[in-house]
Amino acid sequence: MLRERWNGGWSFLAGKGEGFFPTGQEQEQETVTLPHDAMICRPRNRDAAGKNNSGYYPEGVYEYRKRFTVQEEWKEKREEIFANLPGYVRPDELYKEEKLYDRLLELVTGSPGLDMLQQYEDVLKKDYPGELLQKYKGEVNKMAMHTGDRSKYRQLVALLCRMKKITGGSKVAEEIAAEWRGKYRNRRAMMDELGRL
């Protein structure tokens, strides 16, 4: 495994909290090695807010940045880690952090119920709206098969409303609602709730 020292090559800027290296301040960067005392670059002032607790240095915001490239070797190591995960460990959070969204989608669509879908909906809905809507459709149709009270039907309509926020979801939700109006027309409470869609 390749190892790299991270202490050197950091860009440092005494800023004002606008975010890393605001435009126009690139020329003020300084290359430093960590650990680095950010305040030591400022002149001391006997009226500094921290007084002797801060060594009479003024308060400030200090920003550091370092660019690095992930080696190809990491991809191999990552696959090794995935392959050796204990059976009780779900890899979904790892897939999310590594931006392996195709794998995350496979887990989501293969999981029972809506819990994992709703957990990762915001991460996946931009790239995989159709797949998420299909998962929603299958689950809400299964839920609708069994009669329930008004609160259950209200929950189903809330899920249809949630689907409408995904690209293409309005059409799918309306199609499901139309099917239910025909199939379950004798469920008065469901019909009432569908009227709110």
Q: Edge to edge, what strands does the sheet with 61-65 contain?
A: 30-32, 10-15, 61-65
CA 149 to chain centroid, in Å, comes to 34
Domain boundaries, the chain: 10-65, 72-194
With a threshold of 0.75, does the pTM exceed it? Answer: no
Residue 16's pLDDT is what? Answer: 53
Do 150 and 194 meet the contact criterion of CB atoms below 8 Å apart?
no
177 has pLDDT over 70: yes
The CB density around residue 136, as the number of other CB atoms within 10 Å, is 23
Residue 2's pLDDT is what? Answer: 54
Residue 157: both structure tokens together: 């309509």
Cis bond upstream, residue 35 (ω within 30): yes
